[in-house]
Chain A
Amino acid sequence: MDIVVCVKQVPEVAEAELEVAPDGSSIDTEDLVEDINEWDNYAVEEAIRLKEAHGGSVTVVTLGDEEAEDVLRRALAMGADAAVLIDEEGFEGSDAFGIAGGLYGVLKDMSCDLVLTGAQASDDGWGQVGLILAERLGLPFASLAVDIRIDGDTVFVNRELESNTQEKVALPLPALITIQTGINDPRYVSIMGIRKVRKIEIRETDREELGLSEKEVGFGGSGLASRTLSLPSAGAGAEILTGNLNEICEKTAQIIRERGGVA
Chain B
Amino acid sequence: MAEILVLVEHRQGEIREITFEMLTFADAFAAENGMKVTALLPGAGVSEMAGRLENACDRLLLMDSPELAACNPEAYLAAIEKAVGEYKPLLTLIGHTAAGMDLAPPLAARLGIPLVTDCLDVSWNEGELEVQRQIYGGKINENLRMKPSERYLVTLRPGSFPVSGPRAGAAEKVTLEPPAWPQFRRRFLEYVEAELADVDITAAEILVSVGRGIGKPENIPLVQEFADAIGATLSCSRPVADKGWLPKSRQVGTSGKTVRPKIYIALGISGAFQHQAGMKNAETIIAVNKDARAPIFNVAHYGIVGDLFQVIPVLKEKFS
Contact = CB atoms under 8 A, between A and B. Distances in A.
A and B touch in the complex (CB under 8 A): yes
Interface of A: 13-14, 18, 20, 27, 95-97, 100, 119, 122-132, 134-136, 140-144, 156, 158-172, 222-232, 235, 237-241, 245-246, 248-250, 252-253, 255-256, 259-262
A170 B140 contact: no
A230 B134 CA distance: 10
B287 interface: yes
A255 B147 contact: no
Contacts of B206: 256, 260, 262
B207 to A, nearest CB: 10
B130 to A, nearest CB: 9
B216 interface: no
Interface of B: 11, 70-71, 73-74, 96-99, 101-102, 104-106, 108-110, 113-118, 128, 133-147, 149, 185-194, 200, 203, 205-206, 230-232, 262-263, 265, 281, 283-287, 292, 297-306, 310-311, 314-315, 317-319
Contacts of A134: 106
A159 B305 CA distance: 44
Given A241-B302, A245-B310, A144 B102 contact: yes
15 contacts: A18-B140, A128-B117, A224-B116, A225-B147, A229-B140, A232-B134, A238-B299, A241-B302, A246-B314, A249-B314, A249-B315, A255-B263, A256-B230, A256-B263, A260-B284
Contacts of B193: 164-165
Contacts of A156: 189
B106 A122 contact: no
Contact of B194 (A130, A143, A164): A164
A128 B104 contact: yes
Contacts of A246: 314
B194 A165 contact: yes
Contacts, number: 241
Contacts of B118: 125-127
B149 A223 contact: yes
Contacts of A20: 140
Contacts of B96: 127
Contacts of A250: 318
B134 A125 contact: yes
A166 B190 CA distance: 9
| Most chain A Cβ neighbours within 10 Å, of B102, B104, B136 | B136
A136 B109 contact: yes
A132 B143 CA distance: 23
Given A127-B105, A159-B98, A238 B303 contact: yes
A31 B300 CA distance: 25
Nearest to A128: B105
B144 A224 contact: yes
Nearest to A245: B314
A171 B184 CA distance: 10
A245 B11 CA distance: 47
Given A225-B128, A256-B230, 20 more contacts: A18-B139, A128-B115, A143-B102, A163-B200, A164-B200, A166-B192, A168-B189, A169-B188, A223-B114, A225-B144, A229-B135, A235-B301, A239-B303, A240-B305, A245-B314, A248-B306, A252-B315, A256-B206, A256-B265, A260-B205
Contacts of A249: 311, 314-315, 317-318
Nearest to A129: B105
